[in-house]
Amino acid sequence: MNIKIYRANVKNIKYCSPIIYFEKYKDIFGSCLFTGDGINDISEYTFIGIFPHTIISYDGDKLIFQNEQGVKKEKGFWENLSKVLTQTNFDEFNYPASLCGGMGYLSYEILQNIENLTKTTVDSYELIPFNWIFFNVYYVFDHLNKKAYQIDIEYESKSKIIKKTNIYNGYNVKNIQSECTREEYMEKVEKIRDYIFRGYVYEVNLTQQINGSFFGDAYSLFKKLFSINNAPFSAYINLEDTKIISNSPELFLRCKGKEVETRPIKGTIKRGRTEEIDKENIELLINSKKDQAELYMIIDLMRNDLGKVSEIGSVKVINPKRLETYKNVHHLVGIVIGKLKESCDYFDLLKAAFPGGSITGCPKVIAMEIIDEMEKYTRNLYTGSIFMMNKEFFISNIVIRSAIIKNNKIFVNSGGAITIDSIPEEEYNESIIKIKNIINSMKQE
């Protein structure tokens, strides 16, 4: 299927709130929003894609290529994705068209295409593990220069995938329940600490799932959540009977040409009720040996992952511990950079680094085996990644602080890193703090 571009028609539009601008497209099948607020080196752009030209998905066995003319399937996951990437030519056009590309996601379950691991978790909902959508129309909001653009793409072959989606106003969430009680979660923390004591692993990211009944407009929930916390790597995707809401603060991978960076988050503390308490909490976080150990272990893991596909000597830690502040929490963040080998593309990078170390643990493979043992439900998109990609530009998040809405149900996961110094009750409390914004957003106004 041909996704080569013949022409990109760019026009200036009035710079405004992307959240409000997207409202008129929220009910269009396939529409995507990738947005957020943050300091200048985090939230440079918002991307919107509407009217799918081609959708590339994965059924667990074959890649599925769909456009207006029909569907075809091919074996070979990573090699075929790399082949498609080489065919993209957004980079041949001037800014801002050069930033556009396929928008989509990788589920955490794509790890099965990287490591040969046994899966025993239960699927609480069904989700296609990979989706990559190329659009007929893009919108780019340049937040540094306060400019916005509409880019109408003319592909060499015409296609426009149209499907009807339901239109709702408002929303209602009921019957919220957790996978674990406090005591059950704390017991899992103790089991992981025992694995650490016995030398199997250094750190494991443990999570639990919360679900409930959902009725109404998923984008209304996204807007309310974003108004509470305008996280820098937020996203909304409309996939007919599945709606994806992400309020993620975490950058996974960002690339311009061959330059790569990753920014793992490890270490979280809630905001104080007063300025004085808030300063005390910051000091506690910055001086916490446990949180620093969590962060440094994952930085080292990410250095190793980037090193698999980067030029020798190019991988560097440029900031080992940066404080980032959000409306409800403070985080510690590391910044690692590298330069991709000439022979490697962005899917080679994803294969080397996925799933992100900050949401698995260290060593990664053993940590993922323990995750499968400890967690009841399949993570699906949670701790996967939402991304925008062409062959010269790539940006992706870690899907945390997020919700999946499917068949009148809502699914939310939360957790944290367990280390030798973890206190079970504190770990449980941290898992609840991290999704406080989502829980508050679910409540009726």
**Residue 398 resides in a domain:** yes
Residue tagged active-site, from 26, 223, 243, 266: 266
Query: What average pLDDT does range 421-427 have in this prediction?
Result: 94
**Residue 180 resides in a domain:** yes
**Residue 242 resides in a domain:** yes
**Residue 169 resides in a domain:** no
**Residue 64 resides in a domain:** yes
Per-residue confidence (pLDDT) for residue 104, from 0 to 100: 97
Domain that holds residue 251: 5-164+174-442
- Spell out a b/e string for 141-160, using b for 16 or more CB atoms within 10 Å of the CB, else e: bbbeeeebbebebebeeebe
Active site residue 163: no
The model's pTM is 0.96
Please tell me the total count of domains within the chain.
1
CB 224 within 8 A of CB 380: no
**Residue 102 resides in a domain:** yes
Residue tagged active-site, from 250, 375, 427, 430: 250
73: which 2 tokens?
Answer: 């399937």
**Residue 388 resides in a domain:** yes
The CATH number linked to 201 is 3.60.120.10
CB 235 within 8 A of CB 248: yes
Percent of the chain with pLDDT over 90: 89
Question: Average pLDDT over the chain, rounded to whole?
Answer: 95
Distance of CA 205 to the CA centre of its chain: 16
Please check the confidence at residue 101 and state whether its pLDDT lies above 90: yes
pLDDT tens-digit map of 376-420: 999 999 999 999 999 999 999 999 999 999 999 999 999 999 999
pLDDT tens-digit map of 264-317: 999 888 899 999 999 999 999 999 998 999 999 999 999 999 999 999 999 999
**Residue 357 resides in a domain:** yes
Give residue 445's pLDDT band: very low, low, confident or very high (50, 70, 90). Answer: low
Strand partners, 387: 104, 396
- Please list, in sequence order, all residues whose beta carbon lies within 8 angstroms of the beta carbon of residue 185, skipping any fewer than 6 positions away: 206, 208, 424, 427, 428, 431
Alpha helices, DSSP H, located in 205-332: 218-228, 275-286, 289-307
pLDDT tens-digit map of 17-74: 999 999 999 999 999 999 998 766 788 999 999 999 999 999 999 999 999 999 999 9
Active site residue 275: no
